[in-house]
Structure 1
């Protein structure tokens, strides 16, 4: 990187102090614009308000994080919440309203109280997590300095941080340094879509300019997915103009993984039907049960059939940073692309997704456009770090900053230790369930997701599905715990996602007791 000055503050240019002098002059000069600015406008942007407003928020957030009580979701009627929110809005419409600290306090309190309590031991329902506090602080800095990060000139450190984190995390993937690429996207769904576009354009290089190839005499583009793949893959296919008839669903085994014995025959049959599978999407931690597809074997199959292998590792890719758990992703070095959500098991603010490509050139395949107002005609050492040509977003938050700052301050072990605890705890609560005669487990957990059913006497096979749905709804409404549900083999199951290191087996036993109470009430009432 070229140095912009002879000292790290970059204050002097060309050996003079003219830049500093200009800054001093500007700071003391009065505003001389043609239109006068109201005092309230200037007050709203006053830097001194930053500390006052921040201290108000931090005080309430500190109390929120320190609250270790078991609580779920305080589900409020939308009409009542809308009324409460409207009551906090100023009635001044003709001029700028003066700042009201009480109004701000009430807004923050309402915001905190009405969300999912991700830091509570009662939260076991979704895959997004409570953040490491420092990650929230860095995200706050990002919001204030407001540096869109698709282009180096607008966000220099975030673009450098992306390169650094790409290199750091590639140590666990295993590609040759300098041969791969990584770009951040706002969520795993967008990462999956971007990877599928790159795969399609590589296999069908004229698709971007000419559109879908004519069916006559030509194979139709198709995507192969595990039967338990995330819905974003099918959604991405639809966006790309690939219909349901061009999605090849690979059968899964009893462990909810792509079945290798049936994968090859299914692909062969798709080819006989006139489909050209250009991408096979595997999962590293399915959303439903947290299953890991056999990446190593799928890598060999994809290479043999000249198919791009994309791994949706939104949930489970983070296991790579753990020496104990990375074997779950054995063969990851064989894949062509990998989606990795840091806002799940890397505990940073959402969204923060990392999209890796094994071949650096492939990262340029998703989008093929020219736009003189952003894309440079004369690349240099600065524009080399631009990612605007590799991702869908032009204005993109510098989402990498929270992850990089945590990695820089705490190192890998912070993430590895928490992930290992969560997975070990999930194994332990599975053992607890096995010993409970009125519960049944739906699978053996591979990571930190566990699905099970409450099956007391009196609940027949035809009633199991509705019974689990009713339990989930009642648990949510009571507000002590927050769990989710999923259909497994067509029948609903209760689903817990262990994301909080403050959860213990005792908390899980408390959940089971509440499920029993709720279930008995439902049976007594005949619901």
Structure 2
């Protein structure tokens, strides 16, 4: 005890710290007290609490839990359960060892004081032993604290004149560390300011400018490239303005695309991915990322419903490429000679997909040599689902014409209507005629994470391949798309070229982890880390809650507008996905009977409202025609930051902008 202080004064200081607000880094778990239950006067706070972890009153675990300091002596307990807190985390420490556990769970300053009081009657040797044990545990308890302390000394912001600094002054330049630190701290400020404003609903979704305005240059911001280096001051301005004039796709009122949101864990993963700056073709240069990818793909295949022992997959640059992989795999499975001899060596092959499917199937048909005429479109019902009878009819027609049916694409979550094709019935037809079944679940695959909604993809386990884009419903930052294949080895056989400078067979590790030869590209971006990190942070349950919330918001929007005269639904019934398709009916068209003239006027409404919406920058939602239908709004919700108030705002904004049309 310091000289000049009495024991009572020291005790009072401990009491003040014990009852003070939690220190930075400490968490505080609230507790609801039942009627008649005695409430302790104070709570000792311990840092780094983990929710939902089983607790025991054992002294070894009390140091890392919240502990209750009751004013009632423990001896006052009776055999009655009345007034007894059943939560073991709230038991008052009653022994010397238990209080030592409390000290170990507290901050260094408070912990040492508690130890001091506990040791008043101990020998000098015992005091020394206990204090040493406490200090040792404190020093090893949180290595990040040491790293952060060291960081505070090295990464302190200083006044820096960037107008006279250039890229050549940054690392690896000699003595470039300080300039590098200051420059990156400025960049981080720009990033954090952007993130903060993205979640601020008073911030615009976009600051719209026409292409010619940006090309001509804004004040301090010019897109033209120069022959001579520009200062770091200008580079920082460019960093800021590039974000300023872009679209805030993470804004809670951005509903324009299927990929929205700004997940903070995913953002951290993407920052670190860029810092690592490696490639995914071999375990040799991306050992951790390669293993992360394999573990995550295995988990995704299990969720689809396939055996964990079999199957394959790879992350690709988007759903369109994943769909292309599926067609390549199907062609190689049935006609492996195509790899060496080309399309001239195989019969006339045809592919089948719905008229509402993604255009990437036709694009793949063109790129892979099938030709778009040999991608046969199947009719859909009024909700945008494949009609199985029409599929079988067209398969038979193709066979009669001498074509070989190869592949059927079923869509789980169409782009416009959000429809789910009847996979079970389509799978029956594919098995009957020995066709490869692919399910494009780029948009709808996330529903597999939800026990409430996964039934909409019933039969997906019967597919030969699946496209699944976590960067859509699961909110992973772009890009993150997986092609999953039920049979192992097809991707390797289809794409393997055995480049000797990358895929040597005599490496010192298991070369089966060199996954690059499965890909159609050589260099492959690391898309896995942000996804893996988000899964670790949220858990499967977290993704499920996120997806359920988005679907609940879609139900809320549908219920809000379905019976209002200002709106008309594009199809009857509740939407299956978060796609809600509707027309806004201006006052001039309400009550007007359907006619070509009315449809022509209605066709111009959505584009006009969208233009006003973008100029005001308040929100964004997509529109398009479908078949012979006039332009309508297609509302999609995939941003977990969106709330019912944002849905209300969208409706009110459409009405405000369209009231005079």
Superposed pair shares fold, TM > 0.5: yes
Q: Gaps (5+ residues) in structure 2?
A: 1-164, 590-597
Looking at structure 1, the residues matched to 226 and 620 of structure 2 have their Cα atoms a distance apart, in angstroms, of: 39
Partner residue, 2:646: 507
Partner residue, 1:456: 586
CA deviation after TM superposition for structure 1 residue 223, in Å = 0.8
Superposition RMSD in Å: 2.4
Q: How does 1:71-470 map to 2 (within 5 A)?
A: 71-82=204-215, 83-84=217-218, 87=221, 93=227, 100=232, 102-213=233-344, 219-378=347-506, 381-443=509-571, 444-459=574-589, 460-470=598-608
The answer on whether the counterparts of 1:198 and 1:367 sit within 8 Å (CA) in structure 2 is no
CA deviation after TM superposition for structure 1 residue 428, in Å = 1.0
The answer on whether the counterparts of 1:183 and 1:356 sit within 8 Å (CA) in structure 2 is yes
- The structure-2 alpha-carbon separation of the partners of 1:44 and 1:176, relative to structure 1 and needing over 3 Å to count, comes to same
Looking at structure 1, the residues matched to 507 and 496 of structure 2 have their Cα atoms a distance apart, in angstroms, of: 16
Q: Please give the secondary structure, in 2, of the residue aligned with 1:175.
A: coil
CA deviation after TM superposition for structure 1 residue 478, in Å = 2.5
Looking at structure 2, the residues matched to 477 and 430 of structure 1 have their Cα atoms a distance apart, in angstroms, of: 26
- The structure-2 alpha-carbon separation of the partners of 1:87 and 1:63, relative to structure 1 and needing over 3 Å to count, comes to closer
The answer on whether the counterparts of 2:351 and 2:374 sit within 8 Å (CA) in structure 1 is yes
Larger Rg: 2
Looking at structure 1, the residues matched to 299 and 506 of structure 2 have their Cα atoms a distance apart, in angstroms, of: 29
- The structure-2 alpha-carbon separation of the partners of 1:85 and 1:295, relative to structure 1 and needing over 3 Å to count, comes to farther
TM-score (norm 2): 0.68
CA deviation after TM superposition for structure 1 residue 62, in Å = 2.7
In structure 2, which of residues 611, 616, 619 is the aligned counterpart of residue 478 of structure 1?
616
Partner residue, 2:658: 519
CA deviation after TM superposition for structure 1 residue 60, in Å = 2.9
Q: Please give the secondary structure, in 2, of the residue aligned with 1:483.
A: strand
- The structure-2 alpha-carbon separation of the partners of 1:235 and 1:90, relative to structure 1 and needing over 3 Å to count, comes to closer
Looking at structure 1, the residues matched to 166 and 580 of structure 2 have their Cα atoms a distance apart, in angstroms, of: 57
Looking at structure 2, the residues matched to 42 and 494 of structure 1 have their Cα atoms a distance apart, in angstroms, of: 51
TM-score (norm 1): 0.85
CA deviation after TM superposition for structure 1 residue 234, in Å = 0.6
- The structure-2 alpha-carbon separation of the partners of 1:372 and 1:76, relative to structure 1 and needing over 3 Å to count, comes to same
The answer on whether the counterparts of 1:346 and 1:403 sit within 8 Å (CA) in structure 2 is no
Which 10-residue stretch deviates more, 164-173 or 151-160? Answer: 164-173
Looking at structure 2, the residues matched to 299 and 117 of structure 1 have their Cα atoms a distance apart, in angstroms, of: 41
Partner residue, 2:151: none
The answer on whether the counterparts of 1:246 and 1:275 sit within 8 Å (CA) in structure 2 is no
In structure 2, which of residues 179, 186, 190 is the aligned counterpart of residue 60 of structure 1?
190
Looking at structure 1, the residues matched to 314 and 171 of structure 2 have their Cα atoms a distance apart, in angstroms, of: 35
Looking at structure 1, the residues matched to 547 and 235 of structure 2 have their Cα atoms a distance apart, in angstroms, of: 36
Deviation readout 1:281-322 (Å, 9 max, x if unpaired): 111111112111112222222122111111111111111111
CA deviation after TM superposition for structure 1 residue 390, in Å = 1.2
- The structure-2 alpha-carbon separation of the partners of 1:365 and 1:274, relative to structure 1 and needing over 3 Å to count, comes to farther
The answer on whether the counterparts of 2:567 and 2:585 sit within 8 Å (CA) in structure 1 is yes
- The structure-2 alpha-carbon separation of the partners of 1:452 and 1:44, relative to structure 1 and needing over 3 Å to count, comes to same
Looking at structure 1, the residues matched to 291 and 267 of structure 2 have their Cα atoms a distance apart, in angstroms, of: 20
CA deviation after TM superposition for structure 1 residue 427, in Å = 0.9
Deviation readout 1:8-52 (Å, 9 max, x if unpaired): xxxxxxxxxxxxxxxxxxxxxxxxxxxxxx996363434555543
